[in-house]
């Protein structure tokens, strides 16, 4: 039996290249001044011995944990023994205590999982750092509301125009995209920029011996 030839269809567009091209446009338009303001806020919290609380859901929860690790360990700058006493950043990711998070979610409601944890610790001068691609995550909004009531400074990594978070943020870092994966890519980039800027400021201060 003679086989039929199957007509060749045109090659599909290169989805990888298209994604990266779109992502480059997002990266090129990142709100870097807002990111620098966030570092100013973190620097002030560090100088005044206040705590930074990070929180988010899904991929944003992973980034909250990631950034907390960077900020917490990154303040340990290797150097001479005389620098071993340099203070560390007080930073907590409210996404990391799974038993406590699930207890609050189970016994009350999920909307309270971050606010309820933060209520044990937050004071005026602390920093509440929320992360949400949509800017509308109820649990993040609830935590930011509590932080403002307690006199904490609020910072947020958001996308999609900022959503409801905009009204609750002292420093809104808004990624100019509505595409969730590209927002998350940009958030990770911004988190690394924030960390590296903050770390460089600590290193400069250590050289001047101005922070102990």
Q: How do residues 155-184 score in pLDDT, each as one tens digit?
A: 999 999 999 999 999 999 999 999 999 999
Q: What is the pTM of this model?
A: 0.90
In the prediction, which pLDDT does 164 show? 98
Average pLDDT, the chain: 92
Which residues, in sequence order, are bridge partners of residue 129? 54, 155
Q: What is the CATH number of the domain that holds 96?
A: 3.40.50.10490
Greatest extent of the chain over all pairs of C-alpha atoms, in Å: 86
In a domain, 144, yes or no: yes
CA dihedral 18, 136, 191, 26 (to 10 degrees): 30
pLDDT range class, residue 84, cuts 50, 70, 90? low
| Interacting residues of 212 by C-beta distance below 8 A, sequence separation 6+ | 85, 86, 87
State residue 55 phi and psi, 5-degree precision: -160, 155
In the prediction, which pLDDT does 5 show? 67
The parent domain of residue 137 ranges over 37-77+90-204
In a domain, 85, yes or no: no
In a domain, 21, yes or no: no
pLDDT range class, residue 203, cuts 50, 70, 90? confident
Instruction: Give ∠ CA 127-183-58 in degrees, rounded to 5.
Output: 70
101, two tokens = 């998070």
In a domain, 22, yes or no: no
pLDDT tens digits for 36-57? Answer: 999 999 999 999 999 999 999 9
| Interacting residues of 76 by C-beta distance below 8 A, sequence separation 6+ | 86, 88
In a domain, 135, yes or no: yes
Least confident of 59-63, 78-82, 85-89: 78-82
In a domain, 211, yes or no: no
In a domain, 24, yes or no: no
The total of other beta-carbon atoms located within 10 Å of residue 83's CB is 14
In the prediction, which pLDDT does 207 show? 76
The number of distinct structural domains making up the chain is 1
Nearest to 92 by CA among 111, 124, 133, 120: 120
Spatial distance between the Cα atoms of 187 and 68, rounded to a whole number of angstroms: 14
């Amino acid at each position: 039996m003679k086989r039929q030839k199957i007509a060749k269809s045109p090659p599909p567009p290169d989805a990888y290249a298209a994604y990266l091209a779109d992502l480059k446009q997002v990266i090129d338009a990142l709100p870097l001044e807002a990111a620098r303001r966030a570092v100013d806020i973190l620097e002030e919290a560090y100088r005044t011995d206040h705590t930074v609380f990070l929180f988010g859901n899904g991929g944003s929860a992973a980034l909250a944990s990631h950034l907390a690790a960077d900020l917490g360990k990154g303040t340990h700058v290797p150097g001479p023994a005389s620098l071993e006493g340099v203070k560390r950043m007080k930073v907590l990711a409210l996404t990391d205590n799974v038993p406590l998070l699930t207890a609050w979610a189970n016994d009350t409601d999920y909307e309270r999982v971050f606010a309820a944890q933060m209520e044990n610790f937050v004071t005026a001068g602390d920093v509440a750092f929320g992360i949400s691609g949509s800017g509308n995550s109820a649990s993040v909004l609830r935590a930011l509301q509590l932080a403002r009531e307690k006199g904490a400074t609020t910072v947020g990594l958001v996308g999609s125009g900022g959503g409801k978070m905009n009204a609750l943020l002292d420093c809104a870092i808004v990624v100019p995209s509505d595409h969730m994966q590209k927002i998350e890519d940009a958030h990770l980039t911004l988190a690394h920029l924030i960390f590296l800027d903050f770390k460089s400021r600590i290193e400069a201060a250590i050289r001047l011996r101005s922070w102990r």
